[in-house]
Chains A and B, each alone.
Chain A
Amino acid sequence: DVKVTQSSRYLVKRTGEKVFLECVQDMDHENMFWYRQDPGLGLRLIYFSYDVKMKEKGDIPEGYSVSREKKERFSLILESASTNQTSMYLCASSPAGTLTDTQYFGPGTRLTVL
């Protein structure tokens, strides 16, 4: 079974703090993704990576950066957290091939920025 884990289920941070969200997958998948889920907006892609040290912007990359130093780990960084980044953050991975291959999701991190 594919397992995607995220470092925290719930996180509360203050405006202006630097925030790290970590994601680890154990199935040797090449592709990894970060989404945020907001009511009425569904899942929106922030960044994705198809290989170590490679990254591509998704639909809403502003205010975020990512790091992929190892194949199994993909980190999402909020350089200076703002209240409009309060959201559910979901990490996903998929095997090599097209980027539309079935993606496997982690349980999510609910981030609140005060």
Chain B
Amino acid sequence: DQQVKQNSPSLSVQEGRISILNCDYTNSMFDYFLWYKKYPAEGPTFLISISSIKDKNEDGRFTVFLNKSAKHLSLHIVPSQPGDSAVYFCAAGGTSYGKLTFGQGTILTVHP
């Protein structure tokens, strides 16, 4: 049972435009959400996180939005750059649940 789902396997965006990556979850115990970025032949690296007490967290070009009622989060990248081309994983966890559960990943390609 996939508790964290990224329904778009891939996304293609023009440089300078906005990239929006989506993630849905089913477990109501999740109260902490993270996005990781992975380049080929490297391990995932932490990008940004959000706690369930917030609905938005911003870090430079990256913003994560959380809609608890819809059990949905999204990552916005503005403006997108070719160096952002990578696989993006969303992950969810909870203080009472423990450990992280990852989504399937979305391959983002930013064209110059």
Contact = CB atoms under 8 A, between A and B. Distances in A.
Interface of A: 4, 9, 33, 35, 40-45, 48, 58-59, 90, 92, 98-100, 102-108
B43 A105 contact: yes
A107 B41 contact: yes
B42 interface: yes
A107 B43 contact: yes
Give the contact-size bracket for chain B: 20 to 34
Contacts of A41: 104
A40 B104 contact: yes
Contact of A102 (B46, B99, B101, B104): B46
Contact of A45 (B36, B49, B100): B100
A103 B6 contact: no
Interface string B26-70: 000000101010000111111001000000000000000000000
